Structure 1
Amino acid sequence: MTDLNDEQRQEILDAIKSGKKIQAIKSYREYTGQGLKESKEFIDRLTAQLLEEDPDAIQTSKVGCGTAMVAFSILVMLTYVGMVS
């Protein structure tokens, strides 16, 4: 991250640590003028390095298919209750 000033570097690190990898890639591209592929590869390497140094350094989201299924089930249940009433 030699092309970045301290503030830009910290912004990218904060984005990675808070689980906002896409934002980190966008910021890196904006600050360095690198392409998407190069920026993604850089952020992936940086993320791996951070995880190696401290596995708990990066927030991970546990939202996925299970959450979608719960939401869908609630929607179906509410629709059914509305039809029965």
Structure 2
Amino acid sequence: MVEITNMCRTTGCAIGDIKLYCAGFTSANLINPLIFRHLPTPNHDYCIVNNGNPLSAGAVLSFHYDNTFMYRDFSVSTVTCIS
């Protein structure tokens, strides 16, 4: 299970356009592409979260994936603060 959390605890600090480095990530089950999907880059090394839409303060977005190994290489590539 993957959880993406906006750690801000006050109102008015939403984040959006969340892109993660996700090279090599795969899943045997379908993940809702509005929640998480690879971007059409040459090597599909980046993924977008929540279809680019904002995640409000304290919000958690999660999804399940199935693979033979645990993927540990997610890292934030870009994020936009929305006030």
Q: Give the TM-score normalised by structure 2.
A: 0.23
Give the number of the structure with larger relative contact order, counting CA–CA contacts within 8 Å between residues 6 or more apart.
2
Structure 1 or 2: larger helix share? 1
